[in-house]
Structure 1
Amino acid sequence: MTLYGVGLGPGEADLVTVRGERVLESADVVYSPGRLSRSVATEYVPESNIGDLDFPMTRDPEELRTAWKEAACEVAPRAREGDVAFVTLGDPNVYSTFGHLRRTMDAFHPEVELEIVPGVSAVTAFTTALGVEIDAGAGLALKEASGGASPSGPDRMVLFKVTDAPATHEGLDAAGYDVTYGRRLYMEQGETVVTGDPEEVAERDYYTLAYAEKRGIEKDRATAGFDAETNTDPGEADGRTAETEEGSA
C-alpha cells in the first residue's frame, strides 16, 4: 500500500493540514519519532494506533545507519499490507527526520510506495510570529546555526537550531545584522519567546530560530510611493481618479 510522510506543522495541533488530518485518521498505524510529534498526532489518532520508533541521539554514522535500517524493517511490512504514516514536525522534506527513513526505504525496500504530505514549516510560520515581512523579490537564505555558529553573507537569513544564541548574536552583530529570536513558536509544549535579546534565549533549546537582516538594506516597496500624510496615491493629486479616467474613455 503506501507509506505517508506527514508534516504536522510547527507544533500546534490545529496547524495540521486538512490532507494531513485525513491521512492520520485513515492510516492503519502512525509512527512517531519523538514525544513532541506524538503529542500532536494523538489529537487525531488513538494512542493504540501510534507506534514509536527509537532513534539514538548520536552523531556516530554506523549507529545511525543501524537505527534507520531497523526502523525501515519495522515500517516496511506494515506499509506493504496497509497505509502507514510517519509524522514529523514541520515539513517532511525540510530539516526532517523523515528524510533518513525515506532514503533507507528507497535502498532496502524500494517496492513500498511513498507519498509526502507537506506541513506548515517554520520557514514560513516564523514571519507571523516574529512580525517580519519578507518583500516580494527579496532574497532569503536558510542556514543552520548550532553551537554558536554565525553564518553571514546574504542580506536576510533564517537560522535554525540556534543552540547558543549569545555566541551567534555576537558574530551576527559584528557582521552588521539586526537579529530577532523565536523559541518554540506555535508549539504547545514549553514557553514561546520572541525577543531581540539573545540572553533571553541563552539556555540551549533545539527549537530556537532567528531572523537576521543586514542593517541599512534598501527595501523597494510599491507602497512607498503613497503620501503618508494624505493617504492618497500621488497619481491622484491632479484629480485624475479611476472614475474620471473611466468616464473619459
Structure 2
Amino acid sequence: MLIAVGLGPGDPELLTIKAARLLREADAVFVPGEMAYDLVAPYRSDAVTLDFPMTHDEVFIERCMEENADRIAPAALSGTAVFGIIGDPNFFSTFSRLTAILQRKHPEIVCETVPGISSITAFSSVAQIPISSSFSVSDGSKEEVAIRLKVRRPQEMADQLRRDGYTEFALIERMYMDGMSVFTGNDLPEESSYFSVLYARK
C-alpha cells in the first residue's frame, strides 16, 4: 500500500495528528525534496529523498517519475509506504502522476491519500484575510473543475453545471463525520446535508 500524506504549507506544527502517526508507523517513507524531508525528520530520520525536477522538459519529468515509481514499488508491495508531500497530495501535486505510473505498472498496489493543510486555505491565516464569500482558485490555465460547498440540492446544482459544460460529478456528504456518504456520476441525491461538497469536471 502507498499512502500520500499532506505535510501542510511548511510549518512543522501544522502536520495533522494522522500524518504524524502514519509517518511513525510506515514501513518506509519517501519525500520529494529537502523541505519535505525536514518536515518528516522528527518522525522518520530514515526517509528516502526522491528527485522531482522543476522543469518544463516533459520527457525528463516522465523518466524521473518512472524511476521514482520503481523505487517506491517494492516497499508498497511488501508493506505500507508513505509519501510525504508539501501541502495536500490532491491539490496541484506530483502525486497523481506518480500514482498513474504505479497503477499502470503495479495495479495491485493500493494508493490512498491523507489531506494536509494546503496553501489555498493557509494563506488567509498568514495574510489575516477571512474568506466568507465564493472565490475561485487557478494556476493560470483553463479552469476545468468546479467545487460547490453547502449543496443542499445536488441534482438541481448538477443540472445547472451541466448547462455550463460540466459532465463528471462527485458529492461527499458529511465528510469525515458519522454517516459519511459518497455519490459519483449521475447517482446524486435530490437533497443532502448542509455538510456537503459537490465536485464537477468538464
Determine if the TM-score, normalized by the shorter chain, exceeds 0.5.
Answer: yes
Aligned to 1:141: 136
Q: CA deviation at 1:60?
A: 1.3
Which of 71, 80, 83 is the equivalent residue of 1:83?
80
Aligned equivalents of 1:34 and 1:120: distance in 2?
A: 18
Q: CA deviation at 1:108?
A: 1.6
Q: What is the 5 A alignment of 1:1-249?
A: 2-45=1-44, 47=45, 49-135=46-132, 138-144=133-139
Aligned equivalents of 1:53 and 1:134: distance in 2?
A: 36
Q: SS state of the match for residue 126, structure 2?
A: helix
Contact 1:13 1:43 in 2 (8 A): no
* Corresponding pairs, count: 142
Aligned equivalents of 1:113 and 1:56: distance in 2?
A: 25
Q: SS state of the match for residue 5, structure 2?
A: strand
TM-score by length of 2: 0.66
Aligned equivalents of 1:55 and 1:37: distance in 2?
A: 12
Q: SS state of the match for residue 142, structure 1?
A: coil
Q: SS state of the match for residue 137, structure 2?
A: strand
Contact 2:31 2:47 in 1 (8 A): yes
Aligned to 2:165: none
Aligned equivalents of 1:84 and 1:106: distance in 2?
A: 15
Aligned equivalents of 1:56 and 1:15: distance in 2?
A: 25
Greater relative contact order, per chain length (Cα 8 Å cut-off, separation 6+):
2
- CA deviations on 1:202-223 (whole Å, 9 max, x unpaired) are xxxxxxxxxxxxxxxxxxxxxx
Partner AA of 1:100 in structure 2: R
Q: CA RMSD in A?
A: 1.7
- CA deviations on 1:1-21 (whole Å, 9 max, x unpaired) are x10100000111111111111
- CA deviations on 1:138-191 (whole Å, 9 max, x unpaired) are 22111225xxx9x9xxxxxxxxxxxxxxxxxxxxxxxxxxxxxxxxxxxxxxxx
Report the structure number with the largest CA radius of gyration: 1
Q: CA deviation at 1:111?
A: 0.8
Q: CA deviation at 1:91?
A: 0.2
Task: State the percentage of identical aligned residues.
Answer: 36
Q: CA deviation at 1:97?
A: 2.0
Q: Hey, which bits of structure 1, 4+ residues long, moved more than 4 A?
A: none
Aligned equivalents of 1:144 and 1:33: distance in 2?
A: 21
TM-score by length of 1: 0.54
Contact 2:30 2:82 in 1 (8 A): yes
Aligned to 2:186: none
Aligned equivalents of 1:27 and 1:108: distance in 2?
A: 22
Contact 1:5 1:116 in 2 (8 A): yes
Q: Can you give the 5+ residue segments of structure 2 that lack an aligned partner in the other structure?
A: 143-202
Q: CA deviation at 1:71?
A: 0.8
